[in-house]
Amino acid sequence: MLRIDPIWSRHCGDRQRQLASSWKIEVINYLTGARRGDDTSERSALSHAPFGWKQSRWMNLVGMGFGAKETAGAITGDVAVRLYVRRKVPQARLSPANRIPARVNGIPTDVIAIGTPRFHDRPLKLGAGISHVQGGQGSLGCIVTKPGDDSWYILSACHVLAPAGIAKVGDEINERPGANNAGAAIATLTEFEPLKADGTANTFDAAIARLDDKASVSPTIPKIGVPQSPIVDATLYQSVRKFGAESLATIGVVTDPVFETSVTAAGQPYLFTDIIVVKGAGGPFSRGGDSGAVAVDAMSNRAVGLVIGGGTQGRSFLSPIRPVLQRFGVQLLQ
């Protein structure tokens, strides 16, 4: 049974909203050091805050509410003023002045990470930010199909669509990525090649997920166009382009088409062979959050590989796309 505050439960409708507004304003006043306002019934708590508060130490705050308190993602049955932030920072990393107390003048608070609030735009374009329902941000690579199957599938990096130790077939894939963000389900994880961490060489990093609605995604890369078939193998000094969720449109040159290395994730090394190194032109070719984006030949738009990671000096690593398509028995949507 929910433990609803008796003061809250005695009121309904407009009175509930007025009461919630006054509590939210009380918290805002505490955070900003402002004096208590007289009019609390018609104004939002955030607009009540003094001018310039968003440029202060609270600029991570993106919203306020009053409702269910959550702990580790679970509803506890208590109620609280809910403070929505772009990202949640551990208390130990915050100075005392930047910490939001568990109670403000007796009012319980709850800090909830939701990223940056956005509209869910449709259709998505290739390179949009996506994630496994419990994972971090990656990029939508391209759309692939299977012979005799009317479904469309997202192709992206395995560590994006199927994080090691978490994922299983049937899991949701979300637009607006990240485990703590409010995402919209767009696809269902269908198949993935688990990354091997036992010293056995990985030759690619990829997974596919069936789209829930074909109309939700456009098979077009912003500023580039539709990735073309037939695919092409990477060659030395080849110019390539990509569009990813983090660094957007970039161009680079292949400096090594048969690279071998150990890529580390969460302290775990993964050996890779025959992957591609791309050096960005005028800056990094990719950054964290771009994993899964498809790279295409800069002249022909023929698909070359999927971004999977990178190193210093603007260098990025790509999985060649040919073994990926062969593994899943798919082809690029044309």
Domain boundaries, the chain: 6-113, 124-218, 239-321
Predicted local distance difference test score (pLDDT) of residue 59: 62
**Lookup: tokens for 167:** 């994922």
Contacts (Cβ under 8 Å, ≥6 apart) of 324: 155, 204, 206, 306
Nearest by Cα to 178 from 240, 107, 256, 116: 116
State the residue for tokens 């005028």.
Answer: 282
The residue-averaged pLDDT of 200-214 equals: 96
Instruction: Grade residue 2 by pLDDT with cuts at 50, 70 and 90.
Output: very low
CA 71 to chain centre: 21
- Looking up tokens 């485990």 gives 179
Q: Is the pLDDT of residue 183 over 80?
A: no
What is the predicted pLDDT for the residue at 150? 96
Instruction: Identify the sign of the CA torsion 175, 161, 139, 178.
Output: positive
Distance of CA 199 to the CA centre of its chain: 29
In angstroms, rounded to a whole number, what is the distance separating the alpha carbons of residues 236 and 258?
Answer: 10
> Would you place residue 8 in the very low, low, confident or very high pLDDT band (cuts 50, 70, 90)?
very low
pLDDT for the residue numbered 267 = 82
DSSP-derived 3-state class of residue 97: helix
23-57 per-position pLDDT tens digit: 777 777 777 665 554 444 444 555 544 434 444 45
* 253 three-class SS: strand
**Peptide bond preceding 230: is omega within 30 degrees of 0, i.e. cis?**
yes
* Calpha distance 145→60 (Å, rounded): 41
The pLDDT, as a whole number, for residue 50 is: 42
* 94 against 260, higher pLDDT: 260
Mean of the pLDDT values across residues 188-200?
94
Q: Please, which residues bridge with residue 251 across strands?
A: 241
CATH of domain 124-218: 2.40.10
Count of CA atoms in the C-beta half-sphere (13 A) of 284: 18
What is the tens place of the pLDDT at every residue in 116-173? 666 656 688 999 999 999 888 899 999 999 999 999 999 999 999 999 889 999 999 9
Say what the pLDDT of residue 90 is.
76
* Chain mean pLDDT for the chain: 83
User: How confident is the model at residue 113, as a pLDDT?
Assistant: 77
Q: Which range, of 47-51, 59-63, 172-176, 233-237, averages the lowest pLDDT?
A: 47-51
Higher local confidence (pLDDT), 71 or 51: 71
Mean pLDDT over 282-311 rounds to 95
In the chain, % of residues over pLDDT 90: 52
pLDDT of residue 81: 82
Same fold, 124-218 and 239-321: yes
Q: Containing H/E element for 173? A: strand 172-175
Q: How much is the pLDDT for 182?
A: 55
- Helix, strand or coil for residue 172? strand
| Confidence (pTM) | 0.67
Is pLDDT above 70 for 82?
yes
Distance, in Å, from the CA atom of 185 to the CA atom of 150, rounded to the nearest integer, reads 20
- The pLDDT value given to residue 334: 81
Fold category of 239-321 in CATH: Thrombin, subunit H (2.40.10)
